[in-house]
Amino acid sequence: MAAAAVDSAMEVVPALAEEAAPEAAGLSCLVNLPGEVLEYILCSGSLTAADIGRVSSTCRRLRELCQSSGKVWKEQFRVRWPSLMKHYSPTDYVNWLEEYKVRQKAGLEARKIVASFSKRFFSEHVPCNGFSDIENLEGPEIFFEDELVCILNMEGRKALTWKYYAKKILYYLRQQKILNNLKAFLQQPDDYESYLEGAVYIDQYCNPLSDISLKDIQAQIDSIVELVCKTLRGINSRHPSLAFKAGESSMIMEIELQSQVLDAMNYVLYDQLKFKGNRMDYYNALNLYMHQVLIRRTGIPISMSLLYLTIARQLGVPLEPVNFPSHFLLRWCQGAEGVSLDIFDYIYIDAFGKGKQLTVKECEYLIGQHVTAALYGVVNVKKVLQRMVGNLLSLGKREGIDQSYQLLRDSLDLYLAMYPDQVQLLLLQARLYFHLGIWPEKVLDILQHIQTLDPGQHGAVGYLVQHTLEHIERKKEEVGVEVKLRSHEKHRDVCYSIGLIMKHKRYGYNCVIYGWDPTCMMGHEWIRNMNVHSLPHGHHQPFYNVLVEDGSCRYAAQENLEYNVEPQEISHPDVGRYFSEFTGTHYIPNAELEIRYPEDLESVYETVQNIYSAKKEDVE
């Protein structure tokens, strides 16, 4: 009976919302229902925010039920933006109607800015000051970020350009916030030893689009600690570590009790959970990200050591980090408290090597060389993070020439946040931006800073300043947009169009065309190095700019390309810069690319009709 009343009332509500007539018979029926039933109806999800606004204006009872801080507007907010609810405490007073309005406005502003980016920055990388519009917006930053995430999560193969710029903006915003948090973290006193927190900041900065938080990583470690406690209980049911509460920082002084903890840890980590050092894929950046270490259960010496150290300290074993050359270690004191100690009063633990305990001689055997006593000393958080970022920096330098050097850029940012006056790294950063052709104004700022720090770098600085200024002047001289018409006589030999999925005849890679020239427009040196003259048609043939599935951008001769009879999406990070949609057979250019090649889309449709429709008929 009650269910029937609810169903009947829910059918009446939309009509009432439209009519808003207090004397209507349906309204009289509705407002006489119990408050819980009315609230259930209003929170059922069948009504929009506009519906709720109209319903609340019909009578006093419904207005009271739809009060701005009540359950009805909270449910409207939750259904519309569920991911934001984690930012609100159940005990806080919240004006949900006002939050809804602010979030709605933030979303509209964010979309407006994202939509403007393609027109403003199609011909260049987004400059440093290109994000100022977002930074200057009023309202909570989390609302803007949430809207950007909503854009990225749009289903299907459409809105590729929106997703491309939403990703760039979100990447920038989150990195700036993380970098500020890291800098504040580094200002903590030396005795603040949250190694895990610092490592998580590095992880977050290099993976700003991933949902990584110290709270989640700590929760995963806490679950490992629980398993260790279970094993420890079997060794010693009265072990003092078993009485520790979460968040306590108590330490156990007896060596035997500490040894029991380490034995239990080694069993859980290496035998039960199968953690291990990643010897097969050692030079992989994932080995340095704590969330990946926990997911993949593998890492390199420094990341495995930080995990081991964090668990041991939670269970009362005061291990310390040792910045040992070539192989990060932990040390475990065996001497009495208050006694002067030397390096032989410690056992050294290799977390990469399944928690193996080493003597000084065995440590030297591990790396194959004798080292001084100073290298067995403990290091603070900043030095540990310096080594982690240094490892990432080395890996970033290994990236191929066709990549965006994102890891190198991120690791340089992190290193210079810790040590802002490192001249050689500043010079590397300036050269990198110059090489990528981005942010020339920032390059000049960096070079000026280098000159202030070390006037001896005048030669390298002068060279870069000269060529950066020339780059800026060339950009100023660029006028208008070059439009290429297929119907023009000089383009008569161009066979393929932007948006087509192609295959390279010689190298077999799949790609999509995003530009073309009637003849090779590269310089003589490039033509010579790429051996273009060995081609039957040499450089006097159309050449195509293509995005390749491996993430590279290439310039391919027409005779080396052919239609891909089984077209597929090209997973290249810059696809959205040029295209708005993938149809299943080809890409549709966005507005900016279509301006430059206005006649190509019609040609694409003809090609798709001839190539893929004919193939379909053959199959049938």
The answer on pLDDT for 4 being more than 50 is no
pLDDT value of position 15: 46
* Beta pairing class for 579-582 and 587-589: antiparallel
pLDDT value of position 596: 95
Question: Residues 159-182: pLDDT tens digits?
Answer: 999 999 999 999 999 999 999 999
pLDDT value of position 258: 96
Please give the CATH topology (third level) of the domain spanning 387-478: 1.25.40
Higher pLDDT, 12 or 153: 153
Per-chain mean pLDDT for the chain: 89
Residue 375 has what DSSP assignment?
G
What is the value of pTM for the model shown? 0.86
The answer on pLDDT for 19 being more than 90 is no
pLDDT value of position 479: 67
How many angstroms separate the CA atoms of 517 and 491, rounded?
A: 8
Report for 38-42, 435-439, 447-451: range of highest mean pLDDT: 447-451
Cβ atoms < 10 Å from Cβ of 610: 11
Give, in order, the Cα–Cα distances in Å from 257 to each of 62, 129, 242, 278, 351: 65, 57, 11, 30, 19
CATH architecture designation of domain 489-613: Roll (2.30)
How many angstroms separate the CA atoms of 408 and 412, rounded?
A: 6
**Which residue in the block uniquely carries the two structure tokens 């259904």?**
79
pLDDT value of position 383: 94
> Which token pair is 540?
């006097």
Question: Residues 452-501: pLDDT tens digits?
Answer: 999 988 888 999 999 989 888 887 776 678 899 999 999 999 999 999 99
Average pLDDT over residues 50-72: 88
Phi-psi region of 297 (alpha: psi -120 to 50; beta: other; left: phi over 0): left
Cβ atoms < 10 Å from Cβ of 568: 12
* Rg, C-alpha atoms of the chain: 31
Q: Is the Cβ–Cβ distance between 379 and 195 less than 8 Å?
A: no
Average pLDDT over residues 5-33: 52
The answer on pLDDT for 574 being more than 70 is yes
Q: Which helix (H) or strand (E) holds 331?
A: strand 329-333
Give, in order, the Cα–Cα distances in Å from 110 to each of 97, 117, 168, 288: 20, 11, 13, 33
> Which token pair is 134?
């977002």
pLDDT value of position 2: 44
> Which token pair is 207?
């993976």
Q: Exposed (0-12), middle (13-18) or buried (19+): which is 602, by Cβ within 10 Å? A: exposed
Beta bridge partners of residue 298, listed in sequence order: 276
The answer on pLDDT for 54 being more than 80 is yes
Q: Exposed (0-12), middle (13-18) or buried (19+): which is 378, by Cβ within 10 Å? A: middle
pLDDT value of position 340: 64
pLDDT value of position 511: 97
How many angstroms separate the CA atoms of 55 and 52, rounded?
A: 5
CA 376 to centroid of chain Cα atoms = 36
The answer on pLDDT for 269 being more than 60 is yes
Cβ atoms < 10 Å from Cβ of 474: 9
CA proximity to 427, closest of 414, 412, 410: 412
Average pLDDT over residues 339-354: 90
* Beta pairing class for 276-277 and 298-299: parallel
Angle, vertex CA 202, rays to CA 198 and CA 207, nearest 5: 145
> Which token pair is 321?
């980090």
The answer on pLDDT for 184 being more than 70 is yes
Domains 387-478 and 489-613 share a fold: no
Q: Is the Cβ–Cβ distance between 459 and 450 less than 8 Å?
A: no
Q: What are phi and psi of 167, to 5 degrees?
A: -65, -45
Torsion of CA 6, 7, 10, 16, to 10 degrees: -100
Average pLDDT over residues 24-46: 75
Average pLDDT over residues 243-256: 84
CA proximity to 83, closest of 156, 169, 168, 145: 145
How many angstroms separate the CA atoms of 396 and 283, rounded?
A: 10
pLDDT value of position 37: 85
Average pLDDT over residues 24-48: 77
pLDDT value of position 338: 59
Higher pLDDT, 310 or 7: 310
How many angstroms separate the CA atoms of 43 and 5, rounded?
A: 16
pLDDT value of position 122: 83
439 pLDDT band, cuts 50/70/90, is: confident
Question: Residues 103-159: pLDDT tens digits?
Answer: 999 999 999 999 998 888 887 777 666 677 777 777 788 999 999 999 999 988 999
Average pLDDT over residues 361-388: 92
pLDDT value of position 498: 97
Secondary structure (H, E, C), 245-297: CCCCCCCCCCHHHHHHHHHHHHHHHHHHCCCEECCCCCCCHHHHCHHHHHHHC
pLDDT value of position 59: 85
Report domain extents, the chain.
33-80, 98-187, 229-335+343-379, 387-478, 489-613
Q: Within the chain, how many helices (H) and strands (E) appear? A: 26, 13
pLDDT value of position 22: 47
Q: Which helix (H) or strand (E) holds 126?
A: none
Question: In percent, how much of the chain has pLDDT > 70?
Answer: 91
Q: Is the Cβ–Cβ distance between 147 and 559 less than 8 Å?
A: no
pLDDT value of position 460: 87
Question: Residues 495-519: pLDDT tens digits?
Answer: 999 999 999 999 999 999 999 999 9
